Amino acid sequence: MSTTQCGTDLDLLHERRKPAGFVAGIMVRTTSVWRALRNRMVANSLYDLDDYQLNDIGITRRDVIAALEHSSVLDDPTRLLAGAARQHSRTRFARTPGR
């Protein structure tokens, strides 16, 4: 018996239906606000790390401060931090001329 067949027999593979209309809109908004608040708490906890630990994950203390200051309460500061980490990785691992 294959895994798919077993899942079908146990009714594990079923299509999740999303609530339609107004309720779905409220659920999506609530989820996105909750995610933004949770990510803001995580970004705040990054401020407690030392500079070496921040460097290990590819950001600086200045990036953390800027992300928290430039995002409103309901915005997700981790998007700004991810962009900063990508930018740092591009410049950090760029080949230097002459090598």
Q: Is 54 contained in some domain?
A: yes
pLDDT at 92: 79
CA distance 3 to 35: 33
Q: Is 69 contained in some domain?
A: yes
Phi-psi region of 77 (alpha: psi -120 to 50; beta: other; left: phi over 0): alpha
Q: How many structural domains is the chain composed of?
A: 1
34 SS3 class: helix
pTM surpassing 0.85? Answer: no
Domain range for 38 is 18-90
Q: Is 4 contained in some domain?
A: no
3-state DSSP helix/strand/coil % of the chain, to nearest 5: 65, 0, 35
Q: Is 1 contained in some domain?
A: no
Residues of the chain with pLDDT under 70: 1-20, 95-99
Kindly report, residue by residue over 21-35, the tens digit of the pLDDT. Answer: 888 888 888 898 899
Distance from the Cα of residue 70 to its chain's centroid: 17
pLDDT at 17: 58
pLDDT at 73: 81
Q: Is 65 contained in some domain?
A: yes
Q: Is 97 contained in some domain?
A: no
